Structure 1
Amino acid sequence: MPERAVYVLLDDYGWQRYAAGSRAAELDLDLAAGPASALRRIREQQKTEQWSDDVWCESAVLVDQPHKVLLFFTTHTTGYAHRAALLTTLAHTWPEWEVRWAYDGLADLLAYLGLDRAEVRTEHSVIDPAAAEDDPDQLVSVVRESGEIDAYAVRPAIDEVLALGPECVDLLPEDAKVTECDLPRSGVHIDIPAKTIGLWTMDAFCGLPDKLAWPGWQVGTWADRYPDHLEKCKVTCPEWHLTDGLRTLVDRARALGSRPAQDS
């Protein structure tokens, strides 16, 4: 499957878009070495006049050189520790730059350029949720009218099921109920009495907050603050350690350095 990546470079004369069909999984390493290396790598990619879409784009980065803003996301981190290590590394290797995570994915890059997010929106397939206590993609919790809280660990993420409306809570599989699980990549907290929804992700929302604009409900985004969710739904996840993430980055860099060069 293609690992599509999109790159945007801004300078004093405007912006240029690049794309690669097989480098999305390497964006962490492309950026970690700092601005000079990242810019050189981006300019090696193919210039393009077209955007990808937010279904198939797995990594994207915008480098605003005049204002020193680095805006990016990638779905190719091995977990929260790897992601935290990447952000920590970028704070050191991109000094004096503002490093931002693009929580709405590729659409955030378009918004930064003053373009319409709708240009990259694509409908996702509706997939029935399946239980996934180990390595879940999403943790969905529901506060019932009675005040009882149920939590479900599922894979894959069921954004399109959730977009069906409040009735979607009846579609969550009983065998997916958990009180503890591996740390998921995203979470949704549905409070039926309060008619509120909270969302977080370590990847990208790709328009999910808009899809969950159920009539009469309020939607809030928690960026990557998964502890807020775990506290509300009383689910326990294993702790992660930054040193493990830093080790992952080093191991990935060594493995990449030992591989033969490939075309982008």
Structure 2
Amino acid sequence: MSWASPSGPPPAADGPPLCLVTVGHSDDRVTAHAVDWEPLEVFSYGPDLVPALPAALTADDLPAPIPRGGVHLELPARTVGVWGGDAPDGTTAQWSGWSVRFWTDDCTEQLRRASGTPLFVPQVDWAYEAMRQSLTARHDDPAPFLHEWYGAYFRAPVWDLSPSQVEAALTAVATAARSG
């Protein structure tokens, strides 16, 4: 798949964001921006994305509903990572001089790089349905993949969940996968 750079700035999300963009600044601040574009569309914007982003979310806006994907930029290190889809062809040219990472559907990398800020909350039903739509084309049975993905997600230290809470969440994911 190939993406062209979008025209115009990315619109702010009015509801649950399609993409959450986090930006690590030189003063160690991390800002979060809710955008109403798919993550790969946001990524294809290139480094000019930062000044075009909508206003940063406030502490009252966080944690946000879980997005379909995310983009994380570290400005001082000139690194960018994206999750929420496979690496498309033709998008890294805009990021010349930057280290580029694709994390497929692994949101934990963004959470880790955002210094443990609770950016979004696990909402099993909404997240499962969004992922199921994209996964059923790639996996005959998405349940094992979802169990692995959510296992890593729910065990992320920012959630501080007990083992029994993690197991309950994973049981809910397995039940939802079987009912899909």
Q: State the TM-score bracket (shorter-chain normalisation).
A: 0.5 to 0.7
Alignment counterpart, residue 194 of structure 1, candidates 77, 85, 102: 77
CA distance in 1, matches of 2:9, 2:54: 9
Q: 2:67 aligns with which of 181, 184, 193?
A: 184
Q: 166, 175, 179: which is aligned to 1:247? A: 175
Contact 2:80 2:101 in 1 (8 A): yes
Tell whether the 8 Å contact from 1:151 to 1:235 is kept in structure 2 after alignment: no
TM-score (structure 2 length as normaliser)? 0.58
RMSD: 2.9
Structure 1 residue 250: deviation in Å? 3.4
Higher percent of residues as helix = 2
1:236 is matched with which residue?
119
Aligned AA for 1:131? A
Q: Could you list the runs of 5+ residues in structure 2 that have no partner in the other structure?
A: 125-168
Does the 8 Å contact 1:133/1:176 carry over to 2?
Answer: no
CA offsets, 1:70-104, max 9 Å, x none? xxxxxxxxxxxxxxxxxxxxxxxxxxxxxxxxxxx
Check the 8 A contact 1:131/1:155 in 2, yes or no: yes
1:207 aligned to 2:89? yes
Contact 1:131 1:153 in 2 (8 A): yes
Match of 1:225 in 2: 106
- Identical aligned residues as a percent: 27
2:39 and 2:83 mapped to 1: Cα distance?
A: 14
> In the TM superposition, what is the alpha-carbon distance from 1:172 to its structure 2 partner?
0.7
Structure 1: tracts of 5 or more residues without a match: 1-53, 55-120, 253-264
User: Contact (CA 8 Å) 2:4, 2:44: kept in 1 or not?
Assistant: no
Secondary structure, aligned partner of 2:64: coil
1:221–1:175 CA distance, 2 compared to 1 (3 A): closer
CA contact (8 A) 1:143 1:190 kept: yes
**Residues 19, 38 of structure 2: 8 Å contact kept:** yes
CA distance in 1, matches of 2:38, 2:109: 19
**TM-score (norm: length of structure 1):** 0.42
Deviations 1:152-207 (A, max 9, x none): 12222264454343222011111656531122121111111011112222x33433
Return the structure number with greater strand share: 1
Q: Higher Cα Rg: structure 1 or 2?
A: 1
